[in-house]
Amino acid sequence: MQHFKTISEYCNAIQIVAPKQSYFDIRSFEENMPSVVAQMSPFKHEFYAIAIKVEGSGKAISGHHTNFPEGATIFFNTPFQILSWDILPDWEGYYIMFSKEFFIQSKHLQKI
């Protein structure tokens, strides 16, 4: 099973542009659709991800959840969770990815 330690490693593996920041990334699915890998066998990563899929075809498996409803869906992924997908390149929506280093380096979040 593939294991990605960084957001950059993950982006490289799914064939999308590397993030501008090493510990944080936010963008739309539409930006990735021309190049993203359509089928991804089970893998895990060491960062957090939140995605809002407004539209899109195919199946994404997140942990034990395999029966996501058609249309709009929200995904919350934690480090070391097993993920996979088999999608069509028609996803619309947004996602954010951030690592534990993002919290450590943020002077605003250290006050919490």
* Residue 108 falls inside a structural domain: no
What residue has token string 């954010």?
Answer: 96
* Residue 69 falls inside a structural domain: yes
pTM value? 0.88
Q: How many domains does the chain have?
A: 1
* Residue 112 falls inside a structural domain: no
Give the range of the structural domain holding residue 91, as residue numbers without chain letter: 2-102
The alpha carbon of residue 58 and the mean position of all alpha carbons in its chain are separated, in whole angstroms, by 15
Q: Kindly indicate the confidence band of residue 62, based on its pLDDT and cuts at 50, 70 and 90.
A: confident
Per-residue pLDDT, 40:
95
Per-residue pLDDT, 65:
62
* Residue 110 falls inside a structural domain: no
Task: Please provide the DSSP assignment of 24-61 as one string.
Answer: EEEEEHHHHTTTS-SEEEEEEESSEEEEEEEE--EEEE
Q: How many helices (H) and strands (E) does the chain have?
A: 3, 8
SS3 state at 62: strand
**Is pLDDT at 98 greater than 70 in this prediction?**
yes
* Residue 37 falls inside a structural domain: yes
**Is pLDDT at 101 greater than 60 in this prediction?**
yes
pLDDT tens per residue, range 15-51: 999 999 999 999 999 999 999 999 999 999 999 999 9
- CATH number at 51 reads 2.60.120
* Residue 51 falls inside a structural domain: yes
Per-residue pLDDT, 103:
81
Per-residue pLDDT, 104:
83
Q: Which of these, 68, 50, 48, lies nearest to 58 by C-alpha position? A: 68
